[in-house]
Amino acid sequence: MTTTASTTASTTAPVADARALGLAHYAARGLLEHVLGRHGLTFQQHVTLRAAVTADAPRTPDELVAQVRSSLKADPAHIRTTLDELLADRLLAMDGAHLRATGSGRELIAAVGASTGPVTARVWGGIPTEDLAAAGRVLALITERANAELATLAD
């Protein structure tokens, strides 16, 4: 026998809030970090290397630091350390004043993508397109507002 309370509880959608967003973020990041660990990468190394691999044009170290900082809100000194690690591991290389991903760096990003693909499909699969669109709009607005708040703190 099914009670009304259990039926209502299972069909009532939770309201999105900061905690729900944080829990979703850390669950997804935990999955990614598990995969990255198998490939010998940290989260920050992955974000930095992926930014270099997917850039439309080679970036200077300062440009890449600024891009990663904008995404992760990380300390520029830590990002520079990450660049040094990627250079030492020959995943990035200096090409004059610019950084470029090496063949090994590109292969590693492709391997991580291949490893995360099936996991991503299981996590995101089956979510209706209209729900993803609504969530995308809300997350974009939250990002915009949080970035504006961060900018006021920097002043």
- pLDDT at residue 15, as a whole number: 87
Q: What is the pLDDT of residue 14?
A: 81
Q: What does R_g of the chain's alpha carbons equal in angstroms?
A: 19
- Rounded distance, CA 55 to CA 12, Å? 42
Sequence ranges of the domains in the chain: 39-119
Mean per-residue pLDDT over the chain, rounded: 92
Mean pLDDT of 99-119: 97
- Predicted confidence at residue 29, as pLDDT, reads 96
Topology, domain 39-119? Arc Repressor Mutant, subunit A (1.10.10)
Question: Quick one: which of 107, 143, 128 has its CA closest to 25?
Answer: 143
